[in-house]
Structures are given as C-alpha cells and as structure tokens.
Amino acid sequence: MSISLSSLILLPIWISMAQIQQGGPDEKEKTTALKDLLSRIDLDELMKKDEPPLDFPDTLEGFEYAFNEKGQLRHIKTGEPFVFNYREDLHRWNQKRYEALGEIITKYVYELLEKDCNLKKISIPVDATESEPKSFIFMSEDALTNPQKLMVLIHGSGVVRAGQWARRLIINEDLDSGTQIPFIKRAMDEGYGVIVLNPNENYIEVEKPKIHVQSSSDSSDEPAEKRERKDKVSKETKKRRDFYEKYRNPQREKEMMQLYIRENGSPEEHAIYVWDHFIAQSAAENVFFVAHSYGGLAFVELMIQREADVKSKVTAVALTDSVHNVWHQEAGKTIREWMRENCCNWVSSSEPLDTSVESMLPDCPRVSAD
C-alpha cells in the first residue's frame, strides 16, 4: 500500500484531533482551532505535491507521436492512438500533458496552412507597433485580388486556433476531420480566394511582474524598537505565506497576466476587424462564409454591425452547429429575412443529410448534417 505525501502531511493533524477529542471540555478550544486549520487546507491543491513535474516536450517527436499518411496521430513505437490517461490517478497532470500536446498541434497546423495550402500569415492589427500584442490570420495569395469569389472560414470557441475545427478530432480521429484543410484545398481548387480567421487569439500571456514591498526599516523616523517589531511581524508573515505557497503552487507555475490585442479582444471584434481591413477591401464579387459553432454567432454580430456592407458582398453562409441567437443578439427584421434567404445551418442530427430540422428561431433554415 502506498501513502501519498499529502496524506503524510495531514496525518499529524488528524492524530492530534483524535487525541484532543478524547480529552475533556478544556480541549474544545484546541479542537476548534484545528478544525479551522483543516478548513483552510485546499486538499486538491495539496495533492499537487504528488505530481510529477509539469515538464513536457515541445515537439511531436518529443512526445513520441507523429501523423501517419492518413493524417492520424499515432505513437512512433507502438502505432497506438494517443492515450490521455498516461498516468493513473493524475488527472490534472494528464490534462496538462494533453494541453501541451495541443499547443504543438496548433503550431503544426499553422505550418500545414503555409506549406501545404500555400496561405500567407498576415499580422494584425495592420498598423501594430513593434512592441504591442499582435495576432494573425491566413490568406491565399489572391484573397484580395480574386475578382470572382472569396471563401471565409471561422471556427468556434475554446482552444482551437486558425485552421482548426476541433482539437479533439485532430488528436483522436485525423487531420481531415479536425482541421479546415480539406475545405481550404477544395475552395482553392474551385477558384476561390481564401481567408482563414483566428477569432480565439485575443490576447498574449506574459508573466506577472513581481511586486517589491518596501521594507519598513526604511522609515528612519520610527523608533528602532518599533521598526524591529514590525520587521519581525513582516518576516513571520512572509514565512507563513511562503509555506502556504509551497503547497498551493508546488510546481512553481508562473502567474500570468493577459494583454489583449487591440480591436481583436473577442471573436466578435476580430470578425469585424477582419471584415473592415480585408474582406470589405477584397475585389471578389461574391463572398462566402463557413462558420462553425461560436463562429456563427460572430457572423451574426458582424451582420448587425455592418448590415448594408455584408448584404452587398456576401452571397451565402454555411453555418455548422451555430450557436447564434437572433433574439439575444437583437438582430433586426431585415437581418432575419436576409438570413432566411442566404444562410443555412447544418446541425447534428440522426436524420439523413439535408433533412429539414425544426427550429425555434425565425432565422435561417436548419438541416441535418448526417
């Protein structure tokens, strides 16, 4: 039988409580104090002491995985699919490992967009200074000059980034299921210019600066005895804080802060920004959107903010499991009428493909995606 480090830490407290409870009424105060101490201990955080280091590879090869000729993620040595529960009873550690792999796959998909799809990575805001936070989108060479047609792709919310539909499908199924690459290649084969939005890249993360507290001993006009007392209290407070931090944050994970990207701080802002600076400037007579999940909500918000412009350039919109809501988003009657004529929402259903699915909302038709 193995005993975790967190159990060993708490064992003396439990023993003390048992001993005190056997005593008389004079021990009630001690019992109350110990109960208060236990209530302050975050057992979930304490269990982190038993974790292996959160130190993961930064390449697919380091994880010993690779995509095979079918675009499936497989272990280099065993040929097996990705295993989430790599370490039993360590869900947080397994989740961190999964997230680290996901970041590598995001970069891998970016490379495919540039190398396999021949898209260009375009930095935004277009007038960003060298020091400010930036994001990017991907465009085909003819995205702004193609006189006939332009395809715009918007993914959903969460961890996915440009070029992805679902990280889970990329890892557990294949690249064709989880990425936008098949859509991009077919669109380009059929003569479309292509723009791939990146609506979840809303901020960059930087480490929080450490706050330096000025020592009370700098107050030279205070009596020496008073300064010594304050310094002693300060040192004791710091000692307790460091002791608690040791167990609260045993892996010494960096505390991060978010710096939002100008005019791209949300998926909705991003869609409007890309419309104003790219799509609206394109030469294409016909613009087509494919928007998944939250991407559909972002498109409806774009329509609300740029109704006349969108109507003049957009020919059709294919939504997939869109989570837009014309009532909550306060889309007007003219927008709802346009959506009925120009949009279609393919939703998850057990019905045959393109079977009409009932909707409670008075906007675009809903049909089965299966």
- pLDDT confidence of residue 1: 43
Rounded CA-CA distance 218/212 in Å is: 14
CA distances from 40 to 15, 44, 56, 240, 244 (A): 18, 12, 31, 13, 10
- Domain ranges for the chain: 118-205+260-368
Residues with Cβ within 8 Å of residue 290, at least 6 apart in sequence: 151, 152, 153, 154, 183, 317, 318, 320
Per-residue burial over 52-88, b if 16 or more Cβ lie within 10 Å, else e, is: eebebeeebeebebebeeebbbbeeeeeeebeeeeee
CA distances from 94 to 106, 114, 128, 195, 296 (A): 18, 31, 38, 35, 32
Strand partners, 287: 150, 314
Rounded CA-CA distance 334/331 in Å is: 8
CA distances from 21 to 24, 41, 83 (A): 8, 20, 47
- pLDDT confidence of residue 21: 56
Provide the residue-wise pLDDT of the chain in tens; the chain has 370 residues. Answer: 444 444 444 445 444 555 555 555 556 665 665 556 556 555 554 445 567 777 888 999 999 999 999 999 999 999 999 988 887 778 888 899 999 999 999 999 999 999 999 999 999 999 999 999 999 999 999 999 999 999 999 999 999 999 999 999 999 999 999 999 999 999 999 999 999 999 999 999 888 887 655 554 455 566 766 666 666 666 666 666 655 554 445 555 678 899 999 999 999 999 999 999 999 999 999 999 999 999 999 999 999 999 999 999 999 999 999 999 999 999 999 999 999 999 999 999 999 999 999 888 788 999 999 7
- pLDDT confidence of residue 22: 57
Q: Is 341 exposed, middle or buried (0-12, 13-18, 19+ CB in 10 A)?
A: exposed
How wide is the angle at C-alpha 112 spanned by C-alphas 133 and 141, nearest 5°? Answer: 75
Tokens of 280: 């609206």
Rounded CA-CA distance 358/349 in Å is: 11
- pLDDT confidence of residue 139: 98
Cα 273 to chain center, whole Å? 20
- pLDDT confidence of residue 133: 96
Alpha-helical regions (H) of the chain: 5-21, 28-40, 43-46, 60-63, 91-115, 167-172, 175-178, 181-189, 224-248, 267-277, 294-305, 307-313, 333-342
- pLDDT confidence of residue 25: 58
Residues with Cβ within 8 Å of residue 339, at least 6 apart in sequence: 300, 303, 317, 326, 331, 363, 364
Rounded CA-CA distance 134/78 in Å is: 40
Tokens of 367: 């049909």
The alpha carbon dihedral of 349, 351, 352, 355 has a sign of negative
Q: Cβ distance 155 to 297 under 8 Å?
A: no
Tokens of 355: 């079977």
Tokens of 147: 């006189």
- pLDDT confidence of residue 16: 52
DSSP string for residues in 287-305: EEEEEETHHHHHHHHHHHH
Torsion of CA 240, 245, 248, 253, to 10 degrees: 180
- pLDDT confidence of residue 247: 46
Q: Is 118-205+260-368 CATH 3.40.50? A: yes
- Enumerate the active-site residues: 293
How wide is the angle at C-alpha 158 spanned by C-alphas 200 and 323, nearest 5°? Answer: 95
Tokens of 110: 């970016």
